[in-house]
Amino acid sequence: MPGDYEVLATIHTTLNMGAYARTITPHLIDTLQRNHWMGRQIIDIGCGAGESLTWLAQHGYVVTGVDRAPVMLAAARRTLKAANVDARLVEGDIRTIRNLSDFDLAIALDVMNEYNSLRELEETFRSIHNLLKPEKLFAFDFRTIEGLVQLSLLSDGDALVHDDDNLTIFTQDEFDYERQVQKRTYHIFSRVDELWKRTIGTRTQRAYPIQAITTLLQRTGFDVEHVLNENLQPHTFGDSTARVIIVGRKR
């Protein structure tokens, strides 16, 4: 059986799964620049199919993308090639890679909810701290508990998300309120010659309290510069938001 990343990579473009990274990247960079960030060296952690990398490279940044999944890096190479831009691509887990450093900005978009525990997040934050130059920034987003519940409710459980002559995709959504875990299972039916092949892939996302995340960030050597809502406006704790963007500055 192929792994989940291998399965999801086959439908990443079809389902526009990189839409959030593609859309938020220019607005995020603009927000950071308006708050006096400067730099050219950017690392994209969990770069996926290269949506953010491509925009950044097109706008003159020197970019490095890291992803654990070879199939996603292959997709990133195709995205970059189609845009006629270049980026350094590195396969591996950011917690164990040792040959990267001196970045002005680290971004991680639509990936942090995939970590299994606060301990894993803490390890990741420490590794990212080591990548950055002093006083430089780490910007990342994550879906709130409310956001993950909404994600499940939008499809009301089961949904047909794509259907053409050669490919049909159904999703099943469920939310575990006790564990605060959202799971989306993709049932993919693809035509191969005259036969239909079925594959299944699952994406699991976990919610964490915002205050727990900011505490971890401070514990791992960052000052919390901004906590923003999904519209990149300052977030007030207690207000409703499906997603937050947090910016930390390396001490």
Taking the model in full, what pTM does it have?
0.93
Domain residue extents for the chain = 4-143+208-250, 146-206
Name, in order, each residue with C-beta under 8 angstroms of 40's C-beta and a sequence gap of 6 or more.
60, 61, 62, 104
Say how far apart CA 65 and CA 246 lie, in whole Å: 20
- 146-206 has which fold? N-terminal domain of TfIIb (2.20.25)
Q: Rg of the chain's alpha carbons, rounded to an integer?
A: 18
Q: Is the CATH code 4.10.91.20 the one for domain 4-143+208-250?
A: no
What is the number of other CB atoms lying within 10 angstroms of the CB of residue 73?
22
Q: In the predicted model, is pLDDT for residue 2 greater than 80?
A: no
Distances (CA, A) of 10 to 18, 36, 89, 199, 201: 13, 39, 19, 10, 10
pLDDT tens-digit readout, 37-58: 999 999 999 999 999 999 999 9
Say how far apart CA 37 and CA 47 lie, in whole Å: 21
pLDDT tens-digit readout, 120-165: 999 999 999 999 999 999 999 999 999 999 888 876 668 999 999 9
Identify the pLDDT of residue 153: 81
pLDDT tens-digit readout, 170-179: 999 999 999 9
pLDDT tens-digit readout, 63-118: 999 999 899 999 999 999 999 999 999 999 999 998 899 999 999 999 999 999 99
